[in-house]
Amino acid sequence: MSTAAFWQWYEQHAAPHLGLRERSFRQAFQYLDSLHLTGPVTIVETGCTRDAGNWGGDGQSTVLFDHYLASCAPGSYCYSIDIDPEATAQCKALVSDRVAVFTADSVLALREIGRNLAQQGRTIDLLYLDSFDVDWSHTTPSAVHHLKELVSIIAHIRRDTLVMVDDCPPDARLLPNDTGGFGFLSSPQIGGKGRLVAEYATQVGATPKFALYQAAWTNLV
């Protein structure tokens, strides 16, 4: 499979506008390339693209995945789930029939998608979790939701599946020092939406792939 056409599009149309997410999306697609997949590629995402052209706001993940799959083997497919019907309606207008967009609670929908994949004998190559808007002053509800999503679909990922979470930059506790600067009271840890997924990944010995504004792991199973 050659994704040269995707990379040309990515460099021209996506990379200049992705802002905080550019480095991590680039690494995610480079990782998929490194798998040298010969059959259809399967991507599952929670939280879909909501507004056309809002690259810096929501990252346009569904649009990115659609363009990537266009360079993959026939039958490559993305499942995208969002609970907001206005968001899914807008997303459907932006992507091709390589993407199935569902209006549903992601934790429930992921179980059904998992059953469908099992019937087809397919597993997931990229799992992207981004369905619950994070409140930066109280991140726990979002972090809990994304851990629930992982639990709902984990039976259908492989050791080399890339599991990626949006909106989870590292955070740390800082303390002012005598020189007017700050010292670390605790070392930086993945926060935001990915905090509990990151804790789980550490406990099971998963392999961190990157920890930027987005974070990702392999070997979660």
Q: What is the mean pLDDT of the chain?
A: 94
Average pLDDT over every residue of 72-85: 97
User: Please, what CATH class does the domain formed by 4-218 belong to?
Assistant: alpha beta
Quote the pLDDT of residue 174: 63
Quote the pLDDT of residue 186: 66
Q: pLDDT for 128-181, tens place per residue? A: 999 988 888 898 999 999 999 999 999 999 999 999 999 999 886 667 887 878
d(CA 101, CA 85): 10
Question: Is residue 187 over pLDDT 80?
Answer: no
**CA distances (Å), origin 79, targets 54, 69, 205:** 20, 12, 28
Domain extents for the chain?
Answer: 4-218
Q: pLDDT for 28-78, tens place per residue? A: 999 999 999 999 999 999 999 998 888 888 889 999 999 999 999 999 999
| Torsion angle of the four alpha carbons 25, 125, 84, 20, in this order, in degrees rounded to the nearest 10 | -10
